[in-house]
Amino acid sequence: MRILPPDQIVLDHVAARETAIVGRAVDWANVSSGSRNASGLAHVLALLEAEARRLPAEVVRIPTQASTSVGDDGAVRTEAHADALKITARPDAPIQVVLTGHYDTVFPAESPFQSVSTRPDGALNGPGIADMKGGISVLLAALEAFETHPDRERVGWTVLLSPDEEIGSPASAPLLAELGARGHVGMTYEPALADGTLAGARKGSGNYHLIVTGKAAHAGRAFHEGANAVAGAAIIAARLHALNGQREGVTVNVARISGGGALNVVADNAVVRFNVRVPDAQSSAWIAETVRGIAAEPPFPGLTLDLHGDMTRAPKPMDASQTALFEAVRETGALLGQPIAWKPSGGVCEGNNLHAAGLPNIDTLGVLGGDIHSDQEFAWPASFVARAQLSALILCKIASGEIDALKLKSLRLETM
């Protein structure tokens, strides 16, 4: 592969818009949009929709499905979610590229981490500036530039920007599955590591909430007439923790136990919340069955257990399609003087969903940064143009056939 004159025009288009690419990401990150911050999500969605309408594409809001949540009191509630934004160009083209991102962050409305500042070393520090409002700006910049390429008609593309990735994509998962099944190559904009390293193989993940119901009683007068849900939850938590080390690569994190009340009352409710990570499909099946077994056996009489949740994201191994795609991206990066390396990650993202639906994908094409999910989150401003140029050139090489999207898809289907 080499950079051809039409490719260079695309790359120059990105470089000329550096101020706008960085600036709009800062503007978006200055709007708080935690996954359950309805007003903040609505505000950011409106900003993204306005920006997307600059593209020669159809822009529509897509309703997402409701999900269930378990309160600390054990009550199960239905939870609505914000719309996703879908941007589509040339849906009938022979090659279809799926690009995804999320506009929610982990920071709730009441978080004190509300705005972007510039550190003394030049890095941008702000909520979602790397994860992934910076990534969304890179995504759009790559498409804006690609639309100047003479081979663009060979490639159709669909962007899905979702409101719930940080809570496991319960509302947007069906949309991701549908796009993954129809596309040939996926591009997702989680941040890369600070040195540009990409995530390769990813573990799968599951989120669970186990409701423990007991029987209330006076702790002094009638202690033995009660059944202590908090005590039962503690025993269950210990059983779950003991699963660590039983199967290679499988981890169980007991994240929280809630419930109970006054000190003189035997607790009649508790909720155990835990996350599991697995390296492969066999481990996923094993942990799911094991968790169901624990949830079927109350630790002592008088308790009932009600399990909610499941494996939310399948593992994403480095199969033949992923390996071939990574090599193509590495070659593309080399043309730009960008060394591309990758390593396994225990983290999960929309790339897991897309791969499970049959779509080979690179899922860390966003900006270079770090310390995500903390008030130290940062992104390097210079990486915005560099990463947008990488994505734009990938699209150019897909359009020219130098990256064979049809073959990549075929390789993925062979392993399903």
| pLDDT tens digit at each of 416 positions of the chain | 899 999 999 999 999 999 999 999 999 999 999 999 999 999 999 999 999 999 999 999 999 999 999 999 999 999 999 999 999 999 999 999 999 999 999 999 999 999 999 999 999 999 999 999 999 999 999 999 999 999 999 999 999 999 999 999 999 999 999 999 999 999 999 999 878 899 999 999 999 999 999 999 999 999 999 999 999 999 999 999 999 999 999 999 999 999 999 999 999 999 999 999 999 999 999 999 999 999 999 999 999 999 999 999 999 999 999 999 999 999 999 999 999 999 999 899 999 999 999 999 999 999 999 999 999 999 999 999 999 999 999 999 999 999 999 999 999 999 88
- Domain-wise residue ranges, the chain: 5-201+316-414, 204-313
The owner of tokens 């009441």 is 110
| Rg, the chain, Cα only | 23
Would you tell me which CATH number, out of the four given (3.40.50.2300, 3.30.70.360, 3.30.565.10, 3.40.30.10), belongs to the domain 204-313? 3.30.70.360
Strands 342-345 and 198-202, by their bridges, are parallel
pTM of the model: 0.94
Q: Strand, helix or coil at 57?
A: coil
Q: Look at residues 207, 310, 309, 312 and name the one whose alpha carbon lies nearest to residue 254.
A: 207
Q: How far apart are CA 393 and CA 381, in angstroms?
A: 20
Asked if residues 146 and 395 have their Cβ atoms less than 8 Å apart, the reply is: yes
Amino acid present at 202:
R
Q: At 240, phi and psi to the nearest 5?
A: -65, -45
The owner of tokens 């069906």 is 174
Would you tell me which CATH number, out of the four given (3.40.630.10, 3.20.20.70, 3.30.200.20, 3.65.10.10), belongs to the domain 5-201+316-414? 3.40.630.10
Q: Look at residues 310, 406, 311, 312 and name the one whose alpha carbon lies nearest to residue 359.
A: 406
Q: How far apart are CA 21 and CA 91, in angstroms?
A: 26
Asked if residues 355 and 316 have their Cβ atoms less than 8 Å apart, the reply is: yes
The 8 Å CB, 24+ separation contacts for 110-113 are 111/32, 111/34, 112/375, 113/375
